[in-house]
C-alpha cells in the first residue's frame, strides 16, 4: 500500500525546492527552513517504516 503521508511530505519538499531554485532564495528564508524540517520528518518516518519490517 502506498504511504500517502510520505508522498505528501516528499511532494511538498519537491515543490518548495523548485520554488527556491526558481527564485534563488537563500538559506535563511522560511521556505528553506521548511525544507530542512521536511527532511527531518521524512527521515524519521522512513526510520519508523524500516523498523516495522
**Is the pLDDT reported for residue 32 higher than 90?**
yes
Q: Cα(24)–Cα(47) distance, rounded to whole angstroms?
A: 32
Q: What percent of the chain has pLDDT over 70?
A: 94
Q: Cα(22)–Cα(16) distance, rounded to whole angstroms?
A: 10
What is the arithmetic mean of pLDDT over 25-30? 92
Which residues constitute the domain of residue 15? 4-52
What is the arithmetic mean of pLDDT over 16-42? 95
Q: What percent of the chain has pLDDT over 90?
A: 75
Q: How many domains does the chain have?
A: 1
Q: Cα(3)–Cα(49) distance, rounded to whole angstroms?
A: 10
Does 16 or 49 have the greater pLDDT score? 16
**Is the pLDDT reported for residue 1 higher than 50?**
no
Amino acid at each position: 500500500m502506498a504511504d500517502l503521508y510520505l508522498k505528501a511530505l516528499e511532494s511538498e519538499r519537491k515543490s518548495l525546492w523548485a520554488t527556491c531554485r526558481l527564485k534563488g532564495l537563500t538559506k535563511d528564508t522560511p521556505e528553506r527552513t521548511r525544507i530542512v524540517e521536511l527532511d527531518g520528518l521524512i527521515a524519521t518516518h522512513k526510520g519508523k517504516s524500516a523498523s516495522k519490517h
